Amino acid sequence: MLRYDIEKYRTLFPAIETGTVYLNHAATSPLSSRVVAAVDNYLLERSKTRIDNFGSLIRIARETKESIAKLINSTPDRIAFCDNTSNALNILASGLEWRQGDRIILNDIEFPANVYPFLNLRRRGVEVDFVKSRGGRVLPEDLEAAMTDRTRLLSISHVQFLSGYRADLELIGSLCRRHGILFSVDAIQSAGVVQIDVQRMMIDFLAAGGQKWLMAPQGIGFAFVSEPVQSMIDQAYLGWTSMRNFFGDFTSYRIEPDNTARRYENGTLNHIGILSLHETLSTLLEIGIDKIQEHVLDLGDRLTAELDKIGVPVFVDGPRAERAGIVSAKVNDPERAFARLSQSKVEVSLRQGWIRVSPHFYNTDNDITAFVDVLAAGA
């Protein structure tokens, strides 16, 4: 079913003109011509026409937070810009008041960005419980079984980076709420490709870098911080832009952090990254994340079926509610297969012996066919 004009959006990606079939959005997305134009305009202003363009940058930052809020069903005041997922998660990990014997629930297939900020708390006497996954899935019942009266926090990736499993955040959020446990989500593999609702999912804290499915450059991301969690965070770092009325009285030196999540933005922001994110979010919201999600799941269905025909299993082949944009295939001699795909200008990832395929909203059935044909030719 055609949900939007794919060909219109394919024209935004110059990489297609080179003959590249790009199926690697779980690693790094290509920049669209809209992003390139916005960055070119910024560089022109800063070098020639309007060197001090701070006023327009503040407006763009505000609009970008409004778009992020729409993306996750939040309000702009709950959003803070960050440079990456790890540093966003460290706002939470370093800011809560931990006690000896407190426990955190993770799982054994998480990407390290959602592990090290919390493992680092072992030096403060905090214990980390790694729930064992089942065939690439992290099941809510296993997470609940790990909860104790000392569990303070559960953190999980919405979509697992290798298996592609999409967690049932609404169910997990309800379990955390029932047990009085804070619920943190790493959304770098879901923001921009599947729907997120921090209210319905009862998420307390969410972090996402922008270089993957949000299709922005590296070095820009965001955190969502709920009001109750903000009140619990003893902020480890402060800067001049963390303060209320930071552009008012420069020499009052009063410790008065802003009431919004802006308090976690300690100084000059990555405005090139923000204006890029502004453009990408405009495109994604213009199409609709619901439509993008269905299109990408359709491509996943097609890919899984075609791989089955040539005898190639995938990591997780469950119902659509358990999947997102990642399909990882187990092929013979994965290094050789990856090299052959690269030579054929089909861009995917090689991760831990799996060929990881991750199409986005502008990819087509023809792109899937191109990938499978290269694999089949080398079988």
CATH number of the domain encompassing residue 223 = 3.40.640.10
| pLDDT score of 7 more than 70 | yes
Q: Which residue segment(s) compose the domain that 16 sits in? A: 6-23+289-377
pLDDT at site 29: 98
pLDDT over 80 at 1, yes or no: no
Are residues 207 and 325 part of one domain?
no
Residue 22 and residue 30 in contact, taking contact as beta carbons nearer than 8 Å:
yes
pLDDT exceeds cutoff 70 at 379: no
53, 151: one domain = yes
- Residue 194 main-chain phi, psi, to 5 deg: -130, 160
Contacts with 214 (C-beta within 8 Å, 6 or more apart), sequence order: 29, 191, 192, 208, 277, 280, 281, 284
CA 322 and chain centroid, separation: 17
- Asked whether residue 311 falls in the same domain as residue 260, the answer is no
**Cα–Cα distances in Å, from 56 out to 43, 242, 289?**
14, 20, 27
Token couple for 146:
């790990």
* Residue among 283, 307, 359 nearest 21 (CA): 359
Ramachandran category for residue 367: left, alpha or beta (phi over 0 → left; psi -120 to 50 → alpha): alpha
Taking a C-beta distance cutoff of 8 angstroms, is the pair 156, 114 a contact?
A: yes
pLDDT of 208: 98
Q: What share of the chain is helix, strand, coil (3-state, %, to 5)?
A: 45, 15, 40
Per DSSP, 45 falls in state I
User: Across residues 70-88, what is the average pLDDT?
Assistant: 98
Instruction: Please state the rounded mean pLDDT for residues 138-158.
Output: 98
297 and 164 share a domain? no
Mean predicted confidence (pLDDT) in 170-185: 98
- Residue the block writes with tokens 């109750």: 228
- Residue 28 placed within a domain: no
Indicate the residue among 285, 301, 325 that finishes a domain. Answer: 285
pLDDT in tens, 274-299: 999 999 999 999 999 999 999 999 99
**Which pLDDT belongs to residue 3?**
80
Residue 52 token pair:
């001090």
Paired with 183 in beta bridges are 154
pLDDT tens readout for residues 211-244: 999 999 999 999 999 999 999 999 989 999 999 9
Handedness of CA 187, 189, 190, 193 (dihedral sign): positive
218 and 339 belong to one structural domain: no
Of the three residues 228, 256, 285, the one that is the final residue of a domain is 285
Contact between 27 and 358 under an 8 Å Cβ cutoff? The reply is yes
pLDDT in tens, 294-332: 999 999 999 999 999 999 999 998 999 999 999 999 999
Structure-token match 């209210």, residue found: 199
Quick one: pLDDT at residue 249? 81
Mean pLDDT of the chain: 96
Vertex 371: Cα angle to 366 and 373 (nearest 5): 90
Beta strands in 4-135 (DSSP E): 21-22, 79-82, 103-107, 127-131
CA separation for the pair 360, 159 (Å, rounded):
15
- 258, part of any domain: yes
* One domain for residues 258 and 181: yes
192 and 268 share a domain? yes
Task: At 313, list the tokens.
Answer: 């299993």
Which CATH number goes with the domain that contains 319? 3.90.1150.10
Residue 36 lies in a domain: no
- Using pLDDT thresholds of 50, 70 and 90, give the confidence band for residue 48: very high
* Separation between Cα atoms, residue 81 and residue 266, nearest integer Å: 10
Tokens of 243: 């303060």
Mean pLDDT along residues 62-76: 98
User: pLDDT band at 54, cuts 50/70/90?
Assistant: confident
Domain count, the chain: 2
- For 312, other C-beta atoms within 10 Å of its C-beta total 20
Residue written as token pair 């923001």: 191
Amino acid in position 102: D
Among residues 223, 258, 285, which one ends one of the domains?
Answer: 285
Looking at the structure, tell me whether residues 259 and 168 fall in a common domain.
Answer: yes
pLDDT band of residue 23 (cuts 50, 70, 90) is: very high
The SS3 call for residue 274 is helix
> For residue 291, which phi and psi values (nearest 5 degrees)?
-70, -40
pLDDT digits 0-9 by tens, 190-216:
999 999 999 999 999 999 999 999 999
Alpha carbons 342 and 297: distance in angstroms, whole number: 24
Confidence of residue 2 (pLDDT cuts 50, 70, 90): low
Share of the chain above pLDDT 90, in %: 95
Predicted TM-score (pTM) of this structure:
0.96
Residue 239 counted as domain residue:
yes
104: pLDDT strictly greater than 80 = yes
Q: What is the pLDDT of residue 55?
A: 87
Q: What is the pLDDT of residue 247?
A: 85
Give the whole-number percent of the chain exceeding pLDDT 70.
99
